[in-house]
Amino acid sequence: MRLKLVPENTSINFLKLYRLTFILSSLLVAGSIGLFAIIGLNLGIDFKGGILIEARHNTDPANISGLRGDLKVLGLGDISLQGFGTETDILIRIQRQDGDEKAQIAAIQLVGNTLGSDYDIRRTEFVGPTVGAELAEKGILAVVCALLAIMVYIWFRFEWQFSIAAILALTHDVLSTIGLFALTNFEFNLATVAAILTIAGYSINDTVVVFDRVRENLRRYKSYSLRDILNKSLNETLSRTVMTSVTTLLALAAIVIFGGAVLRDFAIAMIWGVLIGTYSSVFVAVGLLSRFDIKRGDDDDENGVEKPEYERT
Amino acid sequence: MLQFQLWKKLLVVMVAVLGIIFALPNLIGGDDGAGVDFLPGKQINLGLDLQGGSHLLLRVDVDAVKQERLENTGETLRRDFRAEKIRFSGLAVANETVSLQIRNPEDAAKTNQIFTDLGNEYTVSNDGLTYHLAFNEAGLTAMQTRTVEQSIEIIRRRLDPEGTKEPVIQRQGLDRILVQLPGVDDPEAVKRLLGRTAKLTFQLVDMRISATEAIQRGRTPPGSVLMESASNGGRSYVIEKRVMVSGEMLDGATATFDQNNRPAVSFTLNAAGARRFGKVTGENIGRPFAIILDGKVVSAPTIQSQIFGSGQITGDFSVAETNELALVLRAGALPAPLIILEERSIGPGLGADSIAAGEIAAVIGIILVAIYMVASYGFFGGLAVVALTVNIILIVAALSALQATLTLPGIAGIVLTMGMAVDANVLVFERIREELSKGRLAIAAIDSGYQRAISTIIDSNLTTLFAALFLYIFGSGPIKGFAVTLGIGIATSMFTAVMVTRLFIVFWVERKRPTRLVL
């Protein structure tokens, strides 16, 4: 007995949902841009500059409210404290200090002294304002360059229509992930940029698998309408799409549950990415493809003309 | 596709064996990598976030050096003009330019000669009798490079005096230095070591005027400056600008105690320094001289007798401070102050916890994926899991062999690749299923399943590789580590899916000669 999440020989008319999903995706992207513009991102110290200190109480649960009072009076400006992972651990975030880099280092020492010997400082991160701006610039550059390279590759391997559809689907994924971060107020840091690029990689992987099948079917079924070919290709690859998504989600779930606090946000972003990437490959990329006029290949296929399974029945 | 040439079989076996050999040190070696010397490989290089350590991005404050150099050049000019008996006025350093005016037009030729003799790192312009001197671009670049390289050398001597810690100290961009120091217990101490230039000078105290008077008048006699004491609330001193002995003339420095058993640093001077010091102290017995560290007076003892090769610096020190001071004095002064632009310090405890959590996540992830694969594809799923195991061995081997750095996001990358690595197998298996459902026989279905899936596998993996590539180019630190593992993972997963699983299937087909296959 085999576990099959998708029954064999499905014949779902995915493109019938095109109008609905188009509206849905448009709302998602518009909403994400809106959220980004209105709420903005909760930028981590990587981009904003500032100080982050992770400390662990040597014996007892961390006294967060007590420490909050002790640290507030230091006059370091905006300080946030939160539990992190276990109850003995705390994460302290301090805004960028006025003045030069020396002022930042002084603030780190001040906090260290205040925590005293009961706490073990496990991690100190400090990013100065110049570096923060550079990291942000590099992050944006990385995402844009990756998208462009992918676009050129798809263009090279397929037709330009595929490339446009793929890149719009990817942009949809990237923007909606940014929207998710704006909505949930999750910290947006360097690891998030890595997550976004990985999401882009995963999503394009998914899209290319479907596109490959579309290209193959375009050659094989010359008499079919584009719509039928797209639907057929989606159905044929559906089982694989679901299978791969589930295995990746299983691995990610292991990270979320067991991988520790540092990786958790990264893995949660990736889970969202797998879901949105799978959705966008099916509905956005292929959906957009159905709106294009695609040149059909001339070369004959060795199998000749066949009818799709769902039309035989 | 099922005709697997002998050389391909050998290749797969060879890669797998090499993989095991290179991955082995990580499994059987101790924490310090001991006991695996008979193997060619090394253990994986753990990133600072896993083994603990400090990552510091420093900026060398070249502007400070520039100012200092211009002031020195100003003094050189003053001396040269006097020697040549050229009358001048208004010698000043402002806006990164040294300016002066000569009195007599007939001195112009001699003046030009003096400026030419200064060397080619300056540009000199004149406006009538007023001369301006500034660094030209080449001079500036040369100075920048020299300053940064000297700084790197000094940083290395300060952080790794015994040469055992293997710190990474690299120039980045024009005026930056990246320091990565593994296994640091006290990052604050590192910052203290780098936070001072440790410029040591001995200068005479100017007795013509007291510090209080100088503060009241708001000026000091020419050739002297007002300096603060290094200890808090200490008095100020009027110090002669002329330097008797400077830190470069030190031969050694060690932490010790003075006769009152207070922590102190004793030093010895080299031959030139001893000669200079002996001469000046001999001429100035009874006068106080100041020991100046980074522009502040540490102490100002009175010269009791002529001093030659050695002495002691006492002041308001703790034992830890004298140890650090002796270390930085031995290492030499930094040519310019260092500014910390970015710091990421991870304690060893957190690193160990991260590794443990990452390992658990990886093991659980593999088990979940394995169960799901076997449930979905049965025997073939089992083969895919074996291939996945080979895949992980290969990732570990590649990371060890390339001595790439494994970071915490890198572990996430490995776990993620596991999810995605089975994708290539899934593509093949699904394709075989399709072929079977068209009524093909087992061998034909497997054969064409592989044939058709391969272009898809290559296309989809190459695109993901692009994302990894740009992560690597633009990422820093841990993110780069993630990109490396992701990239290696993509390469090995393509290899295992296309070659390893296939080899297993070929063996199986050759032995069983199945006609029917249920997948």
pLDDT tens digits, B78-117: 888 888 888 888 888 888 899 988 888 888 888 888 888 8
B233: left (phi over 0), alpha (psi -120 to 50) or beta: left
**Are B358 and A145 inside 8 Å of each other by CB?**
no
Measured in angstroms, the CA of A282 and the nearest CA of chain B are apart by: 15
**Are A126 and B360 inside 8 Å of each other by CB?**
no
d(CA B413, CA A139): 18
Q: Does A70 touch chain B (CB under 8 A)?
A: no
d(CA B178, CA B219): 42
Q: Does B422 touch chain A (CB under 8 A)?
A: yes
pLDDT for the residue B30: 60
d(CA A98, CA A91): 21
Measured in angstroms, the CA of A129 and the nearest CA of chain B are apart by: 8
Tokens linked to B487: 């990239």
Tokens linked to B118: 């200064």
**Are A105 and B195 inside 8 Å of each other by CB?**
yes
Residue ranges per structural domain of chain B = 6-51+349-512, 63-137, 200-332
User: How many CB atoms neighbour CB A47 within 10 A?
Assistant: 22
* Residue B173 contacts residue B57 (beta carbons within 8 Å): no
Compute, in degrees rounded to 10, the torsion defined by CA atoms B125, B126, B130, B131.
Answer: 30
Amino acid at B428: V
**Is A295 in a helix, a strand, or coil?**
coil
User: How many CB atoms neighbour CB B305 within 10 A?
Assistant: 8
Closest CA to B48 of B185, B183, B187: B183
d(CA B85, CA B79): 10
Residue in chain B closest to A207 (alpha carbons) equals B460
Closest CA to B192 of A107, A121, A52, A106: A106
Measured in angstroms, the CA of B355 and the nearest CA of chain A are apart by: 9
Q: HSE on the CB side for B389, CA within 13 Å?
A: 10
Residue ranges per structural domain of chain A = 14-42+132-312, 50-127
Is the four-CA dihedral B514, B515, B518, B519 of positive or negative sign? positive
* Residue B220 contacts residue B238 (beta carbons within 8 Å): yes
Burial B378-403 (b: 16+ CB within 10 A, else e): eebbebbbebbebbbbbbbbbbbbee
pTM for this one? 0.79
Residues contacting B63, CB < 8 A, separation 6+:
none
Closest CA to A6 of A246, A205, A206, A202: A246
Tokens linked to B304: 């009791």
Chain A interface test: which of B50, B343, B377 (most A C-beta within 10 Å): B343
Report helix angle A190-220 to A261-279, nearest 10: 30
Q: Does A127 touch chain B (CB under 8 A)?
A: yes
**Are A3 and B375 inside 8 Å of each other by CB?**
yes
Strand (E) or helix (H) holding B457: helix B442-474
Tokens linked to B114: 């003096």
Measured in angstroms, the CA of B507 and the nearest CA of chain A are apart by: 23
**What digits encode the pLDDT tens for the residues B253-290?**
999 998 888 899 999 998 888 998 899 899 988 899 89
Of B349, B420, B466, the CB nearest to A149: B466
**Are B339 and A208 inside 8 Å of each other by CB?**
no
Measured in angstroms, the CA of A296 and the nearest CA of chain B are apart by: 19
**What digits encode the pLDDT tens for the residues B304-321?**
888 888 888 888 888 888
Stretches in chain B below the pLDDT threshold 50: none
With tokens 């910390």, the residue in question is B340
Tokens linked to A112: 């260290």
Helix intervals (H) in B92-136: 108-117
Q: HSE on the CB side for A39, CA within 13 Å?
A: 19
**Quick one: A138 exposed, middle or buried, by C-beta within 10 A (0-12, 13-18, 19+)?**
middle
Q: Does A123 touch chain B (CB under 8 A)?
A: yes
Closest CA to A106 of B191, B22, B207, B172: B191
User: How many CB atoms neighbour CB B438 within 10 A?
Assistant: 13
**Are B426 and A257 inside 8 Å of each other by CB?**
no
**Quick one: fold of A14-42+132-312?**
Multidrug efflux transporter AcrB transmembrane fold (1.20.1640)
* Residue A160 contacts residue A288 (beta carbons within 8 Å): no
Measured in angstroms, the CA of B234 and the nearest CA of chain A are apart by: 22
Q: Does B343 touch chain A (CB under 8 A)?
A: yes
Interface predicted TM-score (ipTM): 0.84
pLDDT for the residue B38: 67
* Residue A215 contacts residue A296 (beta carbons within 8 Å): no
Amino acid at B271: A
pLDDT for the residue A257: 93
Ordered mean pLDDT values, 10 residues apiece, chain A (313 residues): 80 88 95 94 87 89 87 85 86 84 82 87 86 85 86 89 93 94 89 84 89 91 90 92 92 90 85 94 92 68 46 42
Of B340, B470, B519, the CB nearest to A146: B470
Instruction: At A27, give phi and psi (nearest 5°).
Output: -65, -40
d(CA A307, CA B44): 54
pLDDT for the residue A309: 45
Strands B263-269 and B289-293: unpaired
Amino acid at B220: T
CATH number of the A50-127 domain = 3.30.70.3400
Residue in chain A closest to B379 (alpha carbons) equals A2
Tokens linked to B15: 């890669």
With tokens 């999503």, the residue in question is A203
Measured in angstroms, the CA of B368 and the nearest CA of chain A are apart by: 6
Size of interface A-B (CB pairs under 8 A): 236
pLDDT for the residue B462: 85
Identify the CATH class of B200-332: alpha beta
CA angle B353, B359, B363 (to 5 degrees): 150
Q: Does B19 touch chain A (CB under 8 A)?
A: no
Q: What DSSP character marks residue A17?
A: G
**Are B470 and A194 inside 8 Å of each other by CB?**
no
Closest CA to A42 of A244, A226, A182: A182
Residue in chain B closest to A202 (alpha carbons) equals B464
d(CA B372, CA A3): 8
Closest CA to B441 of B515, B518, B363: B515
**Is A81 in a helix, a strand, or coil?**
strand
Strand (E) or helix (H) holding B382: helix B348-402
CATH number of the B6-51+349-512 domain = 1.20.1640.10
With tokens 């991005």, the residue in question is B57
Measured in angstroms, the CA of B415 and the nearest CA of chain A are apart by: 6
**Are A249 and B419 inside 8 Å of each other by CB?**
yes
* Residue A287 contacts residue A234 (beta carbons within 8 Å): no
Of A128, A244, A255, the CB nearest to B412: A255
Residues contacting B244, CB < 8 A, separation 6+:
B201, B202, B203, B204, B276, B277, B280, B289
User: How many CB atoms neighbour CB A258 within 10 A?
Assistant: 20
d(CA B249, CA B23): 51
**Are A257 and B364 inside 8 Å of each other by CB?**
yes
Helix intervals (H) in B211-347: 211-217, 271-283, 319-331
Longest dimension (CA), chain B: 110
**What digits encode the pLDDT tens for the residues B422-478?**
888 899 999 998 888 888 888 889 888 888 888 888 888 888 888 788 878 887 766
